[in-house]
A and B are shown apart, each in its own frame.
Chain A
Amino acid sequence: MTKKNDISVPEGYFRNLEQNLSRIPQQEVRPTLMQKVSPWLAYAASLAILATLGNFIFRQSSAAPAWEDEGWDYISYLSRSLDPDGMIELKENDELTQEDIMNYLLASNISVEQLEQTNYEEDY
């Protein structure tokens, strides 16, 4: 099968083509719609990212502290913090009593003077 002579061009095409192409440097290159709007799109995208990030940081920093949460059990938290080894027997739903506190203070090797001070204050 021959490779050539299967296609042709209009009469004088290449002469005109050369002239047309040589005029390209004189033509004003018009920017495409995408080229026109892309700086604005980039600007809008940056603003959107900043707003989202700012909102996220604001929400994180202004979130209510855990103890303001209604579902948070302050007593359980306190007992876990003060008594990590579970020396005080505090069952679920048990109220923390004065006795529990005294037991805790005793187990903590607190001095008698300090205990008396506690009892003294209770009397008032």
Chain B
Amino acid sequence: MSELESIFNRIVKEYSERLYWHVRRMVGCHEDADDLLQEIFLKIWTALPSFRGEAQLYTWVWRIATNETLNHLRKERVRAALRFASADDLGARKIEGDPYFNGTAAQRELWKSVARLPQKQRQVFVMRWWDELSYEEISAITGTSVGALKASYHIAQEKIKLNLSDSEVSK
């Protein structure tokens, strides 16, 4: 086994599960998360020879994962637009149709509200709320300042609160 292969296997062991949960919460369903995770690790493998070690391995791996996830969401948005469909509705349908979602009705509403957020806000919210990363860690991964991240998180929280209260009212 080459040195690169052993580094790759270490990355798989250390990060695959954690990245799965992140990707799953970003894309909304198990099937998409599984496909995307394969693509992310393929990207990690092809980019590994160019990893110079200036960034921490942890930050580098997360950066690839978050970039690939945002690309995936962008492509979905374009595909939805070409079909004259709303990407928000598509996200909500995926959450509804996921057989591995076993949360409460309130949790489902939370997921749908998160799926309606703009991509960057969604990313910050998922990384902070569910992945429990610090603002400093998120900043190192995304290259966004801590101040901007705090502002994005605050706006995302406010939108989610509003969405959840609206859905309560409509019931």
Contact = CB atoms under 8 A, between A and B. Distances in A.
A18 B41 contact: no
B102 A21 contact: no
Decide if the interface of chain B is mainly helix, strand, loop or mixed.
Answer: helix
A3 B129 contact: yes
Nearest to A29: B46
A7 interface: yes
Contacts of A5: 102-103
Given A18-B13, A20-B38, A29-B46, A10 B103 contact: no
Instruction: Bin the interface of chain A by size.
Output: 10 to 19
A24 interface: yes
Interface in A20-53: 20-22, 24-25, 29
Q: Which of A2, A10, A21 has the most CB of B within 10 A?
A: A21
B130 A3 contact: yes
Contacts of B34: 17
Contacts of B110: 1
A7 B5 CA distance: 32
Given A17-B20, A18-B16, A24 B107 contact: no
B158 interface: no
Contact of B102 (A3, A6, A10, A17): A6
Contacts of B38: 20-21, 24
Interface of A: 1-3, 5-10, 14, 17-18, 20-22, 24-25, 29
Interface of B: 2, 4-5, 8-9, 12-13, 16-17, 20, 24-25, 30, 34, 37-38, 41-42, 45-46, 98, 100-104, 106-107, 110-111, 129-130
